[in-house]
């Protein structure tokens, strides 16, 4: 089978994942959470939410590692207001994203990404997709292995592997910092 062409891979390093779990599903919850974080001038780089069969929402978000403590303090101030059952965090995660150009036109794009990461022994902590991008939150220590697996699975030119840290930079071969 011919590899599907991807526009590139972006790795976003030095992230922390926060999960606000078991929140009653009602309007305004995301606004309250993100407002508290914004008040601390923290940039949220990833957001995904889901609702379970008991009509409870869980919101997963990622911030820079160095912003974890301040973000947790901000969430703690609104935890009772939103009736969250639990707030959890993971201090060392990364995001790997593979992007289009024509992902919406090809069935199985996500399957390729998830299968190659599974074959590499990488657990996907959280998934977010759009019309042209698949983003996975993974353990921070697995980022190089994940990028290598995605490069093998898709037709990606090596000049299209980027690191998102203070802007985008090209990844040098064998370098997880892009320096």
Q: Which pairing describes strands 126-129 and 133-139: parallel, antiparallel, or unpaired?
A: antiparallel
Same domain, 82 and 116: no
Q: What is the CATH number of the domain that holds 66?
A: 3.30.70.260
Nearest Cα neighbor of 57 from 83, 37, 36, 75 is 83
Same domain, 27 and 46: yes
Nearest Cα neighbor of 99 from 32, 150, 34 is 150
**Total Cβ atoms within 10 A of residue 112:** 19
User: Domain boundary at 91, 125, 143, which?
Assistant: 91
Q: How many domains does the chain have?
A: 2
Same domain, 117 and 59: no
- What is the predicted pLDDT for the residue at 177? 47
User: Domain boundary at 50, 74, 91, which?
Assistant: 91
Range of the structural domain that residue 104 is part of: 8-13+93-170
Predicted TM-score (pTM) of the model is 0.88
Same domain, 97 and 156: yes
**For 92-137, what is each residue's pLDDT tens digit?**
999 999 998 778 888 888 999 999 999 999 999 999 998 899 999 9
**For 4-22, what is each residue's pLDDT tens digit?**
889 999 999 999 999 999 9
């Amino acid at each position: 089978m011919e590899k599907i062409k991807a526009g590139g891979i972006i790795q976003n390093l030095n992230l922390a994942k926060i999960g606000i779990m078991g929140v009653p599903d009602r309007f305004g919850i995301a606004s309250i959470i993100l407002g508290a974080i914004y008040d601390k001038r923290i940039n949220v780089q990833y957001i995904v939410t889901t609702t379970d069969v008991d009509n409870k929402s869980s919101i997963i978000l990622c911030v820079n590692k160095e912003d974890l403590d301040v973000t947790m303090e901000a969430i703690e101030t609104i935890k009772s207001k939103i009736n969250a059952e639990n707030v959890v965090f993971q201090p060392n995660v990364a995001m790997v994203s593979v992007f289009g150009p024509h992902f919406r036109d090809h069935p199985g794009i996500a399957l390729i990404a998830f299968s190659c990461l599974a074959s590499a022994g990488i657990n996907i902590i959280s998934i977010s997709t759009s019309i042209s991008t698949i983003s996975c939150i993974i353990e921070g220590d697995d980022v190089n292995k994940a990028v290598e697996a995605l490069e093998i699975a898709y037709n990606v030119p090596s000049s299209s592997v980027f690191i998102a840290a203070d802007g985008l930079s090209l990844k040098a071969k064998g370098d997880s910092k892009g320096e």
